[in-house]
Amino acid sequence: LCDAVTDRGGSAGLLRQMEDSNSFVIALDDKRRWYRYHHLFRDLLLHELRVTDPDRALAAHRRAAGWLLGQGDTPEAILHTIAAGDVAEAVEMVAAAWRPYSYIAAHQTIRSWLEALPPDVHRGDARLCVASAVTAIGMGHLDEVGPWIEQAARAPAAGPFHDGFSSGVAAASCLRSVNHWLTGDLSACHDSALTATDAESGASPWDPVTYTWLGAATYWLGDSDEGLQRLEFALDRCRSATVPPVAGQPSAVRA
């Protein structure tokens, strides 16, 4: 990684010399492949580089992102891509990666990506608003869920949806049912889920979510037979659902 960032060789030997001379470098493994540098000195040197040679700082982040992505460390690669100023590329990376990481409850990782993006970019892309709504649900921040859902319904998408939704509007219909269930409004949950199922022209990977809350709300609103039928349908969709693979090292995930 150091060789890639500095665009030259010899980093391994230099790191060992720094460790031997007590230069605030500590080895993290017996093979001397990963090191930790004192965070205060790290921050100082990063600041100096950004002030004295900002173009070189951006290039370093870009090289780091490329190396990390090649190693399968998507979470860190995204953060370095943002730091390199390659915002459009980072947006596509987040849009493609957030759903697989949500399956392993890496909500803080997803949130760190979204918060690192410029706020206008974040709020201006329906796909990122969907990611924010789902992440807020996963983290239990229910006061944030509704606003992100409505923003997802309003905002355009800067590229294709990678999460299984056909649009921000379709995503909002599904997620409203979840939000209403979590906030205890069964009638609104039922109506939102029904709207979402009516809007889908074909099978959706989010059908297990929509039909589960539709069935549950129907049942608890008093129509037990219809509710159980819809829950059975939801169960069938759950059994046939596929979970997208997660690219990245588990140690790099801020779960």
Q: What angle, 0 to 180 degrees and rounded to 10, lies between the N-to-C axes of helices 142-154 and 168-182?
A: 160
State pLDDT tens for residues 194-240: 888 876 666 678 888 889 999 999 999 999 999 999 999 888 888 87
Evaluate if residue 242 carries a pLDDT over 70: no
Instruction: List the one residue out of 45, 138, 141, 70 whose CA is nearest residue 99.
Output: 138
| Mode of pairing for the β-strands spanning 35-37 and 25-27 | antiparallel
The pair of three-digit structure tokens given for residue 97, joined into one six-digit string: 């990666």
Q: Which residues pair with 26 in a beta bridge?
A: 36
Residue in the block written with tokens 């017996």: 30
> Where are the extended beta strands (E) located within the chain?
25-27, 35-37
What are the CA-CA distances from residue 157 to residues 130, 160, 188 (Å)? 11, 7, 26
Contact between residue 207 and residue 200 where contact means Cβ atoms under 8 Å apart: yes
Residue 10 backbone zone (phi > 0: left; psi -120 to 50: alpha; other: beta): left
Cβ-based neighbours of 197, under 8 Å, separated by 6 or more: 207, 210, 211, 214
What are the CA-CA distances from residue 59 to residues 16, 49, 82 (Å)? 25, 11, 12
When pLDDT is cut at 50, 70 and 90, the band that residue 31 belongs to is confident
Evaluate if residue 255 carries a pLDDT over 70: no
Tell me how long the chain is: 255
Cβ-based neighbours of 99, under 8 Å, separated by 6 or more: 131, 134, 162, 163, 164, 244
Residue 250 has a CB neighbour count (10 Å cut-off) of 9
Looking at residue 249, its pLDDT comes to 41
Evaluate if residue 250 carries a pLDDT over 60: no
Return the higher-pLDDT residue of 77 and 29: 77
State pLDDT tens for residues 50-67: 999 999 999 999 999 999
Evaluate if residue 253 carries a pLDDT over 80: no
pTM for the model stands at: 0.87
